[in-house]
Copies of this chain bind each other. A is one copy, B any other.
Amino acid sequence: MKSARIHTYREPLKVEEIPKPGMPRGEEVLVRIGGTGLCHSDLHIMQGDWASSIPVQLPKTLGHEVAGWVEDVGDSVPSPSSAGGLVKGDLVAIFGGWGCGACTQCKSGNEQLCNYARYPGVTDDGGYSEYILVPTYRYLVKVDKTSGLTPVDLAPLTDAGLTPYRAIKKVRHLLGPGKIIVVIGLGGLGFYGMQYAKILGQGSVVIGMDRNEKRVQDITNAKMVDHVLSISSNAPEVREQITKITGKGVDVVIDCVGAENTIKDAFRILNKGGALVVVGMFGNEVKIPLVPAIVNEYHVQFSLWGNYNELCEVIELAKQGKISHNIQEFPLSEINKVLDMLRNGEIKGRAVIVPEK
C-alpha cells in the first residue's frame, strides 16, 4: 500500500509502497483510511523539534488524525449487536491515545495521558497511508452512516477538533451569562475553538482574535462569533480594544497559539479571577508577572488533546450539525506540497490527505 513516511529528520516524507498490515488478531481492527488530517505537530516531528521529548523510531508513517472504514476485525472484536461491536464497512474515527488500559490515567478515561501510551503517526505507523492497524476496537468511534459525515469530516475532529473542546470544557464552570471568552488563533484548532466557545459558553460573549487580517475578515463575514479582533500590529492596545467592545476585561482566554506574544496579550485582558488555557505549542516558555497574578487570582491551565468520551461528544456535535468544518482535501501523493503550504500559513482551516483510489 502507498504510505507517506519519514526516513530522516528535516527531509520531505517519502511516498512509497509498503506491505499492507496482516490480518488483525484478537481485539485488533484493520481500518481502510478515508482521510487523515495534516497537523502542525507533523511539522514539529519532521523538523526533529521534539526528538528528545517525543522520540520517533524512523522510518515511520506519519498522520495521527485518522478516519475510515473497518476493513477487517480480529476474533475478539464483538459483533455489532454488542457494545463497541464492529463489522466490515463500518464508518469509524480513530481515537489516537492508545493507552495501556490498566493505569490510573487509563482507568479514569484519560488514555491519551497514559505514561505507556502508543500513538499512531508517532510510536506506530499512522494515517498517511491506505490502511492502518488499530490495536483494539475500543479505540474506534463508530459513526452512523446516515449522519452524512465522511472520513474527511471526521479525521480533523480526532485532534484539531478535539483539543480545543477539552480546553474549553476544563473551564466551562467559569462561563455563563455576562462572561467573556476570547479564542486566540483562529486557524485549525481555533476555528473549532470559537464554535465550542459558543456552545459551551452558556451565554458568554465570544471574541475571536487573530493576527491574520484575511482570516479575521472571513470569520467576521461568517458571523461565527460575537466579535472578531485583528491584533496584527498594536498588541499593547489589545486591552483597549477589548474594553471598547465589552466594557471590561475577559474571563477566559483559550490560546491556540501559545507564543510569547499571545500569552502576553492574555494577561493584558484577563479580569480578576480569570483563566488562561494554553493549547498552542508555538512558544517555549510561559511568563507570568507574579504580583498581579496573585492579586488577581489568575488560573493557568495547560491542556493536551482530549479523551475518548470527549471525541464522542465532538462527533455528536458534528452529527447534529452544530459545528461547521473548514477543510481542504488533497491526494496522498501531494503531501509534501501540502506540508509546505501548512508551513507557510497557506492552509485555511484544516488540510485532509486522502489516499488515491
**Nearest CB of chain B from residue A254's CB, rounded to whole Å:** 13
Assess the A317–B203 pair: CB atoms within 8 A: yes
* Contact (A293, B297) CB under 8 Å given A104-B312, A113-B272: no
A324 at the interface (CB under 8 A from B): no
Complex Cα–Cα for A60 and B110 (A): 36
* Contact (A101, B138) CB under 8 Å given A83-B115, A177-B313: yes
Q: Identify the closest chain B residue to A112 (Cβ).
A: B297
Total copies of this chain within the assembly: 4
* Contact (A26, B76) CB under 8 Å given A258-B290, A309-B104: yes
Which chain A residues (303-357) contact chain B, with CB distance < 8 Å?
303-304, 307-309, 312-314, 316-317, 320, 322
Q: Identify the closest chain B residue to A83 (Cβ).
A: B100
**Nearest CB of chain B from residue A77's CB, rounded to whole Å:** 10
Assess the B302–A297 pair: CB atoms within 8 A: yes
A301 at the interface (CB under 8 A from B): yes
* Stretch among A13-21, A126-134, A235-243, A278-286 lining the B interface: A278-286
Which chain A residues (59-118) contact chain B, with CB distance < 8 Å?
76, 78, 82-84, 100-105, 107-109, 113-116
Assess the A320–B287 pair: CB atoms within 8 A: no
Chain B residues with CB under 8 Å of A102's CB are 78, 83-84, 137-138
Chain B residues with CB under 8 Å of A308's CB are 107
Assess the A113–B302 pair: CB atoms within 8 A: no
Complex Cα–Cα for A53 and B317 (A): 34
**Which 3 pairs across A and B sit closest by C-beta, in order of nearness?**
A84-B102, A177-B313, A178-B316
